[in-house]
Chains A and B, each alone.
Chain A
Amino acid sequence: MSSSTEIESLATGEYKYGFITDIESDSAPPGLNEDIIRFISAKKSEPTWLLEWRLKAYRRWCTMVEPNWAHVKYPAIDYQAIVYYSAPKSTANGPKSLDEVDPELLATYEKLGIPLHERARLAGVAVDAVFDSVSVATTFKSKLAEAGVIFCSFSEAVREHPDLVRKYLGSVVPYADNYFAALNSAVFTDGSFCYIPKGVRCPMELSTYFRINAANTGQFERTLIVCEDNAHVSYLEGCTAPQRDENQLHAAVVELVALENAEIKYSTVQNWYPGDKEGKGGIYNFVTKRGACRGKKSKISWTQVETGSAITWKYPSVILQGDDSVGEFYSVAVTNNRQQADTGTKMIHLGKNTKSTVIAKGIAAGRSNSSYRGLIKMKRGAVGARNYTQCDSLLIGSRCGAHTFPYIEVEGNAGQVEHEASTSKVSDEQLFYCRQRGLDPEQAVSLIVGGFCREVFRKLPMEFAVEAQKLLSVSLEGSIG
């Protein structure tokens, strides 16, 4: 269907909500079709262009096949069994109180020092209490407004700043980019929007934690961050507490745009529920994250600590378009028990003298599998481009696996690519050495692994780094028999 006929069909109001009884209802029935998408869009009172964009994405998605090249295995996902819209968050199937929550999960909260009132929310229990964070968020907002920074939910951005959203949405990750991005584009329900105007250094680190309603952004989250010329922002996503969600499939999209001399630092600590020891009930995390260094001398830096999810499929990437722009990727991915992670990055060098650095640390324990997959691409015009990739795997025990899949495509002799890789084990000697000095095996492992990850942790904002270290020890608990 061409876009003009789409608009026509919309304009003539031919579509019906069909089986969806009424727009007042709180959730859509399971399944995905154009009516559902219209329902979502109407629910959010979106402008026509956005609905149209969603529909295009949906139609494209229908023609696409789910990728299967990643080094992960999971049963087929029934996309028609998923509920694509529900507000407020349905808690019908969730635990009714903390008493019903997996005691191991609660023990983990305890160890991580999560405040009591936060635990229920994280565990997916329906809670009515108003969190302290709401008042924190309000003071926070006024400070940002003073600086001219826009930081709000995606829905709010669509309402309040439609031109900005329209200008940048899909400009880095087009709706047809890949299967999961197309799905997200069709059905995303909320997320974050952040805009830093020219010359502004965002006065504080932005964290989704402080954004009101952040808890209910759902499984198809959409984030868009735009930094104008000479602007600067550091953005923190996620939290260290293992979050439970009854939605098994998560397919988020994150787009970053850095204009001339702008800098975006995006840090993630991802700790979705990995499932029990057998991997049951864990989250599938299929994320598309990409940044565009559009302007000269711009810089985008991804730092991630991935410990959660049953399956992770994620490649934060940078398109280095502006001359002298810089892309960085620092990653720690931990898998334990039955977890599977296929993660890495893509650095696409287009501009002259563009530079990228990739430091990826994969840690596998239990029966888990951790893969690094990285693409370094240098187009003909990327004269003087340089990449340095270092990719290290650490194995704990003998039943886990670590794999490295580096792809390098350099056109002509555009630039210079350097790749180093290593695989090591937490050795018996190291463990014994630590234990002889009085450390118990768990302390020993977390110390050794922390040392292995040091280069990446150093890139995290201070408190995040401390939390990440703690998180690491909790994630690897029981990994030493």
Chain B
Amino acid sequence: MLNIVDLHAEVGGKPILKGLSLSVGAGEVHAIMGPNGSGKSTLANVLSGREGYEVTGGSIQFLGVDMLTLKPEERAALGLFLAFQYPVEIPGVNNTYFLKAALNAVRKHRGEEEIDAVDFLALMKAKLAALSMNELLINRGVNEGFSGGEKKRNEILQMTILEPKLCILDEIDSGLDIDALRYVADGVNMQRDGKRSMIMVTHYQRLLDYIVPDYVHVLTDGKIVHSGGPQLAKDLESQGYGWLKAEEE
């Protein structure tokens, strides 16, 4: 599905990713953990083609396509979805309208017909119910005045509607209360169908209790320094990142 080899990337002239390699197969869930500022969000931005994130070396293949030549919207159309760590507000743009435009843009890319308003509304209603989300939210502006937790759940709603092939979830658990965390996790688990892959960035084991990953990686200073199974996250939770550094030396 995704193959990252020796990736180097800079932001504002400053090298952040320094030789990162990662392989994600179809249906796999990978958790990425690591200290603040180690480059986790940078990786998410680089994968989705954000301007200002300059790749200076290495390669990214997604579904056999060289991603580096593609625009963000082309990557999205291919099936890449990023749930943002800090979803932005777009005042006045109706949430439903936005999602419908996004879905149609992606469908158009795939050569599918546009979805009509009635079908879309039905789809939206079903997904909202599945995520136990407040219907009122979808008639507000995109993330406009949403609480931190509401924003995160809105990201998951978008994900379930756009049905991507690879989801990058950047700290989807931060700012969620206990119930919301469960709804979000349930939403993500519903998306695990054996084909869809996920990269989950998180700081905490509790998310991984709900969404059990196949692999856990530790990202430090722009590189993956350690990989393992679900047990690795538990070790990190109890011992922090220090022992890894010591091990490395």
Using a CB–CB distance below 8 Å, which chain A residues touch chain B?
A: 427-430, 432-441, 443, 447-448, 450-455
Contact = CB atoms under 8 A, between A and B. Distances in A.
A433 B84 contact: yes
B191 interface: no
Interface in B69-98: 71-73, 76-77, 81-82, 84, 87-88, 90-94, 98
Contact of A439 (B52, B81, B82, B101): B101
Given A437-B102, A438-B105, A440-B105, A451 B48 contact: no
A429 B52 CA distance: 11
Given A436-B72, A448-B93, 8 more contacts: A430-B90, A435-B76, A437-B102, A440-B73, A447-B98, A448-B90, A451-B141, A455-B92
Contacts of A436: 48, 50, 72-73, 76, 81-82, 84
A432 B98 CA distance: 14
B73 to A, nearest CB: 5
Given A438-B73, A438-B76, A438-B77, A453 B102 contact: no
Given A440-B73, A448-B93, A432 B102 contact: no
B112 interface: no
A359 to B, nearest CB: 12
B105 A437 contact: yes
A226 to B, nearest CB: 36
Interface size on B, as a range, is 20 to 34
B218 interface: no
A439 B48 CA distance: 13
Contacts of A435: 71-73, 76
A187 to B, nearest CB: 42
B76 A433 contact: no
A443 B105 contact: yes
Contacts of A451: 90-94, 141-142
A452 to B, nearest CB: 6
Nearest to A457: B92
A223 B61 CA distance: 64
Contacts of A430: 88, 90
B51 interface: yes
A436 B142 CA distance: 14
B234 to A, nearest CB: 32
Interface in B90-118: 90-94, 98, 101-103, 105-106, 109
Nearest to B92: A451
Interface string B150-164: 000000001000100
Those 4 A-B pairs whose CB atoms lie nearest each other, nearest first:
A451-B92, A451-B93, A437-B102, A438-B105
B62 to A, nearest CB: 14
A441 to B, nearest CB: 8
Contacts of A427: 88
Contacts of B142: 451
Interface in B137-182: 141-142, 158, 162
